[in-house]
Structures are given as structure tokens and as C-alpha cells.
């Protein structure tokens, strides 16, 4: 190859690498953007970015939003099914983009999680989202969107109930307070109903004592681990409060995922770690390690405050946590206090 041709080829490499990441997966630090808070009468887009859902549950989701005082606009693929997905990747991605581009829509509320959001992360138009900041909320598989959007735009996203979730009084109160009532400080306690639940995985337990402050980051453990090694992975936990939860995983699988997470990011750099309720993750075999012992073994030696059993995850009573804002974790009291509003 001629030297001139070689130089041309080398010059093209950064462009090729950049386009391989789609519209935006970058590692630079973005300025935090807070979406506007919701008001009664606002229009909320309901989308199914991952799996499909039964028609009656979509109707229930619409009813829940209306009971909160919102108008709804349903994504075009929300009622579709494509195997274990709600429509094709393009259809689901188009619904996400359309919701952010629509000036009448004030929030993008995911109807459910399931599986499939990671499939189209390289095609997300992060510039479009950053240009049209608004509330994005969901949990479980939606972690892929919450984390990638936050890290690639600076937009505060919200780990909270799906639109098809059962809106208990606890869930509703926390969502309304976080999304509609901006406050300089807001303390989130464990749900009394969760405390009263005698199932072992609902037992709140301090793993490592202490109080810590930092920016909230996190979501579903399986999704965080699944994105490891990609441009959309959890990139920075230094001085941050990491929150994690999961559902239906045997304790050894939780051990495996926490081990991978430890080897992916330096968890000793965290300010603290808050574990939600890992529903359905009880040991089924007496020879198995218990869930709480796995948590203690994998997170108890980090030298930072760690608590298990806060009210978030695949449970009826769940709080709403904004990714990107400053908060305080009190491991002994089992509380998270938002030190600023997640909305403007």
C-alpha cells in the first residue's frame, strides 16, 4: 500500500469508530439537565420500548395515568407483539423518538419492561433527546434506557413504577412527590407494608454502617451487567450512590453478577450502595448460600455504607429514584434523602 493511501485509511478510522456507536454513545461528562415537572392535565406518552403486554393491562395503565391527572398518548407499537417484543426494534425506537420530539408530550412513561431495549441502543438519537428534555420513567429492562440516556445526555431519568404497575398509595405518593412537586429535600423511607412482609427477601438489613452522599446511579443489576463492555455500560461510580435490584434470580446468579460488576467498575470508589428488594431471589436449596449472605460477601468488604431491602424493585410498593441528582444514604436508618429535586 502506498504511504498516501495508508494515511488516508488511518484518517478514516476515527470516523468509522464513531459511526459504529450510533448517534451518540460517548464517555464525556455531560452537564446535568433536569426535565420540567409534571402538572395535572399534562400529556404523558405511554410506550412499550421492550416487551409487549396484554391489551387489558395497557387499558389499566391508561387508567392509572388518568387517575394521576394526566392525559395520555399511546405509542404506535405499544399494543403490538413481535414474539417477546412489542413490535420491531425500529417500531419501538420510533415510539421513543416520537415521544421526545412531540412538543405536546411532557413525559415518557414506559408501560412495562421485559426484554429488548438493549437491542437498539446504538440507534438512539441522543441529540434529539437532549434537545427535547422531558421525564423518562420505568424500571427493570428500562434500566438500559435510563442509564444510557442519562450518561449520553446528562438528562435526569427516573427509576420508578411502570405505567402498568399497581399504584399503591406508597408508590403513587412517591411518584407524585418526585415528579410533580419539586423540593430541596425529600426523604424516602422503607414502605411500612414492605417492612411488615415476613418473606426473607423483604427484610431490611444494614450490611455496612454509615452515611454517604453522592449522585444517584443504578437500576436493575442484570441490565447493568448485560451492558458491561459496551459503549452504554455503567461508566463511573466514583463518589456516587449506586442502587441495584433484581428479580427471580438464584443467589448464585446474584453472586455471579455482583462478581462481574466488581471486576467491571471499582465499587470501592462508590460513596455507598443501596440494594432494593430482590423479589423471588430466595434460596430454594438449603445447601445454597442465602441472598443476604451473598450481598454481604460481595459488597460488605468495600469500606462504604451498604444497606439491603429499600423499597424499590419488582415489588408493589416502590419509590421513584432520579438518576443524576445528589442524595444521601443512611445505611442504619435505611433511608435515601434526595438533596435536590430531580425536576425543574
* Beta carbons of 243 and 299 less than 8 angstroms apart: no
Q: Is 140 a catalytic residue?
A: yes
* Gyration radius from the chain CA atoms: 20
Q: Alpha-carbon distance 309 to 197, whole Å?
A: 11
DSSP string, 272-306: EEEEEE-TT---SSTTSPPHHHHHHHHHTTSSS-E
Q: What pairing do the DSSP bridges indicate for beta strands 205-208 and 186-188? A: unpaired
Q: Is 159 a catalytic residue?
A: no
Q: Which of 37, 165, 215, 245 is catalytic?
A: 245
Q: State phi, psi for 310 to the nearest 5 degrees.
A: -75, 160
Q: Alpha-carbon distance 206 to 306, whole Å?
A: 6
Q: What is the DSSP letter of 107?
A: E
Q: Which of 77, 140, 191, 341 is catalytic?
A: 140
Residue 159's closest CA among 313, 343, 335?
Answer: 313
Residue 269's closest CA among 224, 302, 220, 301?
Answer: 302
Q: How far is CA 51 from the centre of its chain?
A: 16
Q: Which residues are catalytic?
A: 140, 245, 314
Amino acid at each position: 500500500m502506498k504511504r498516501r493511501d495508508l494515511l488516508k485509511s488511518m484518517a478514516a478510522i476515527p470516523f468509522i469508530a464513531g459511526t459504529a456507536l450510533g448517534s451518540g454513545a460517548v464517555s464525556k461528562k455531560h452537564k446535568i439537565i433536569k426535565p420540567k415537572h409534571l402538572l395535572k392535565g399534562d400529556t404523558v406518552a405511554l410506550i412499550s420500548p421492550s416487551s409487549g403486554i396484554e391489551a387489558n393491562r395497557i387499558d389499566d395503565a391508561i387508567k392509572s395515568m388518568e387517575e394521576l391527572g394526566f392525559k395520555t398518548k399511546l405509542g404506535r407499537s405499544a399494543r403490538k407483539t413481535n414474539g417477546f417484543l412489542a413490535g420491531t426494534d425500529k417500531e419501538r425506537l420510533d415510539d421513543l423518538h416520537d415521544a421526545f420530539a412531540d412538543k405536546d408530550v411532557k413525559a415518557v412513561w414506559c408501560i412495562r419492561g421485559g426484554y429488548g431495549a438493549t437491542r437498539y441502543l446504538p440507534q438512539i438519537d441522543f441529540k434529539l433527546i437532549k434537545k427535547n428534555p422531558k421525564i423518562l420513567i420505568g424500571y427493570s429492562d428500562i434500566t438500559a434506557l435510563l442509564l444510557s440516556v442519562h450518561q449520553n445526555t446528562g438528562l435526569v431519568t427516573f427509576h420508578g413504577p411502570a405505567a402498568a404497575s399497581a399504584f399503591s398509595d406508597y408508590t403513587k405518593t412517591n411518584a407524585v412527590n418526585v415528579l410533580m412537586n419539586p423540593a430541596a429535600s425529600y426523604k424516602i423511607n422503607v414502605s411500612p407494608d414492605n417492612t411488615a412482609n415476613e418473606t426473607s427477601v423483604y427484610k431490611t438489613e444494614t450490611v455496612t454502617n454509615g452515611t454517604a452522599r453522592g449522585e444517584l446511579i443504578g437500576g436493575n443489576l442484570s441490565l447493568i451487567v448485560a451492558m458491561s463492555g459496551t459503549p452504554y455500560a455503567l461508566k463511573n461510580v466514583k463518589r456516587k450512590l449506586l442502587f441495584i435490584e433484581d428479580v427471580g434470580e438464584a443467589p448464585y446468579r446474584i453472586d455471579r453478577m455482583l462478581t462481574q460488576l466488581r471486576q467491571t467498575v471499582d465499587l470501592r470508589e462508590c460513596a455507598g450502595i443501596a440494594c432494593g428488594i430482590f423479589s423471588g431471589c430466595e434460596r430454594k436449596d438449603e445447601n445454597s448460600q442465602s441472598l443476604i449472605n451473598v450481598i454481604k460477601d460481595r459488597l460488605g468488604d468495600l469500606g462504604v455504607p451498604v444497606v439491603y431491602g429499600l423499597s424499590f424493585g419488582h415489588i408493589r410498593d416502590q419509590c421513584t429514584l432520579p438518576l443524576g441528582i445528589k442524595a444521601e444514604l443512611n445505611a442504619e436508618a435505611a433511608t435515601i434523602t434526595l438533596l435536590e429535586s430531580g425536576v425543574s
